[in-house]
Chain A
Amino acid sequence: MLYFVEQCLNGVQLGMLLFLLAAGLTLIFGIMDLVNLAHGSLYMIGAYFAATFAALTDSFVLGAVLALLATLVVGMAVEVIAMRRLYGRDHLDHVLGTFGLILFFNELVRLIWGPAGLTLPLPGVLLTAVEVLPGVYYPLYRLVIIVATLMVALLLYIVVMRTRLGMLIRAGASNREMVGALGINIKLLYTFVFGLGAALAGFAGLMQAPILTVQIGMGENILIVAFVVIVIGGIGSIRGAFVASLFVGMVDTIGRAFFPDLLRLIVTKEAAATAAPALSSMLIYLLMAAVLVLRPEGLFPVSSK
């Protein structure tokens, strides 16, 4: 029981991290029609910056804030230097161009920080566990992640739904030319949206750094999962991204935790031992396949021009 609650919370936590990435990806795609493979690189950079700044300033919080700002700056720089030239082009061009950026960033990080990963230790105050249910303890930091990302999600919702800026974003998603014709500085809007996406990715990266990993190539693994989330949720839909992130986070975590046992009930011990690890990793892809069969545009498709 304890284990189950813990895994559920882990699932929510993973879901929230995925949401940060998926939201940025889907926003960028929805507004600028840009397929951004290098989104994972921004996630990685956020983590690396956090580890470095935290070590330099000896403060986790300060390190995190600086890392967030730095990632935002890098994101906007990338947009101005590279992404701008890709708007309006074939998606294949986006794929190739951003693929090149991935190679570049991975190698740049290796050049600056070396091939071995980094660690980001948590401040002592966060190292305790909290009693979430009678007799059930859960690490405080992971709860912080859940709460923090929920707050960011709420903030995002408020900005997109209730502010003038958000209105521009939504308008731009459904009709780019019109927004430009209205005299809004499209270039600035795009740079901002991209920066926002980068900040979200960086935030995800730095938040998970203390508990998971800070290493080269970390971005790509989770990026693909973020893609799965977007496909399931519906490309362009933030609401879809939220629902799908939770869904995928839960399926992946609970699946990995309980599927091997489930498998052992059905087949022999050896077969289960062979197949379990592979199949557990595949669960979310099978989920995606199922959604595709039933609803090819995802759960909350957005129709836009």
Chain B
Amino acid sequence: MIAARNARNVLIAGLLTFLVLLPVYTGVTGNYFLLTLFTRILILAMAATSLNLILGYGGMVSFGHAAYLGIGGYAIGILASEGVTSGFVQWPVALLVSALVALIVGLLCLRTRGVYFIMITLAFAQMVYYLGAGLARYGGDDGLTIYRRSQFGLLDLSHKTTFYYVCLALLMAAIYFVWRLVNSRFGMVIQGARSNERRMQSIGFPTFRYRLTCFVIAGTMCGLAGALLANHTDFVSPAMMYWTRSGDLIVMVVLGGMASSFGPLIGAVALLVLEEELSGITEYWQIILGPLLLLVVLFARRGIDGLLDPSAFSRSGSELAKGRP
């Protein structure tokens, strides 16, 4: 059991070391493709981390989370095309709009349960997608190019390595924030509501307001990821929020291991690297990925985290009490 924990911790430590040193490696070898790939991984890992908060810890299966990637991204894109390129204006707007939309969607959806919730979040995400596709002024279906990245004074986001480290720093901050959140009183309510909502009500918790707050926090964090994504690709399009993108995020969360702090990052790395490898083998790589997903669901439900630490469910209370990530 101890050995299993160590295996997991070694993996995480190794991964983090790799991520920190990657720009050094790419600087030396000139392999900027790798840097670009991993920047994307970091950004999507942040999106997945935000989804893990509501899905993994909160049990809310939102199939519309990618909408916030789009909202954050379009906030940047629209402002940039209207001449506002200061990051100090763009990013708060992105966060605010994401939070507002999450609030409205949450108010409508969170009163429903189970299957309804899944379908409704999916439907609302599609609605946002159509909204984006209908904005002819901002590129519609074809998308919108961003000619200037968010300006933050001395911090130059157009410099690849700088941008990479900004993403890495923000991701680490996000993971830390989620970790503290889920172990706080607020987190206990969220996890309790996932575990047994009826009991939570019966001991006196008005669970709705807490779950709504959690939903808004997750949407906002994903909006930030969207702002980063827009800067990364210098482009926004409705495709960012197409529902299959929401599916990808769910896959990352489950693949990495739900309700674990680093699970989403591991999942993002695993999925994107797998996609790269598979598309190198065959053009029709999704024929392999599809059934692979099904197999993961059937046999490795707890994801990579579960494979590495199969005893985790029967962890003794003291382990859980330490709130290990």
Contacts and interface: CB of A to CB of B under 8 A. Distances in A.
Interface of A: 29, 35, 82, 85-86, 89, 91-93, 95-97, 99-108, 110-111, 220, 224, 227-228, 230-231, 235, 273-279, 281-282, 285-286, 288-289, 292-293, 296-297
Contact of B115 (A35, A220, A288): A35
B297 interface: yes
Given A100-B294, A273-B136, 14 more contacts: A82-B294, A95-B61, A96-B251, A96-B297, A100-B293, A107-B284, A107-B285, A108-B287, A276-B134, A278-B133, A288-B123, A289-B124, A292-B108, A296-B116
Given A278-B135, A285-B126, A96 B120 contact: no
A29 B298 contact: no
A228 B125 CA distance: 12
Contacts of A228: 119, 123
B214 to A, nearest CB: 17
B171 interface: no
Contacts of B247: 95, 99
A278 B130 contact: yes
8 A-B pairs with the lowest CB-CB distances in the bound complex, closest first: A278-B134, A104-B290, A100-B293, A103-B290, A281-B130, A285-B127, A107-B286, A227-B119
Interface of B: 55, 61, 63, 108-109, 111-112, 114-116, 118-120, 122-124, 126-127, 130-137, 243-244, 247, 250-251, 254, 284-287, 289-294, 296-298, 301
A271 B55 CA distance: 38
A273 B135 CA distance: 10
A227 B63 CA distance: 12
A194 to B, nearest CB: 16
Nearest to B129: A281
B52 to A, nearest CB: 13
Contact of A92 (B61, B124, B284, B291): B61
A274 B136 contact: yes
Contacts of A85: 298
Given A224-B126, A292-B112, A293-B108, A107 B119 contact: no
A107, A228, A235, A288, most chain B CB atoms within 10 A: A107
Contacts of A230: 119
Contacts, number: 131
Contact of B122 (A82, A86, A107, A224): A224
11 contacts: A29-B115, A89-B297, A95-B247, A96-B293, A100-B292, A100-B294, A106-B286, A235-B115, A274-B135, A288-B120, A296-B116
Given A95-B61, A285-B124, A296-B112, A107 B287 contact: yes
A232 to B, nearest CB: 10
Contacts of B115: 29, 35, 91, 235
Contact of A285 (B112, B114, B123, B292): B123
B124 to A, nearest CB: 7
Given A96-B251, A231-B123, A285-B123, A279 B134 contact: yes
A93 B303 CA distance: 12
Contacts of A285: 123-124, 126-127, 130
B242 to A, nearest CB: 9
Contacts of B289: 100, 103
Contacts of A101: 290, 294
A35 B122 CA distance: 13
A282 B127 contact: yes
Contacts of B124: 285, 289
Contacts of B244: 102, 220
B118 A95 contact: yes
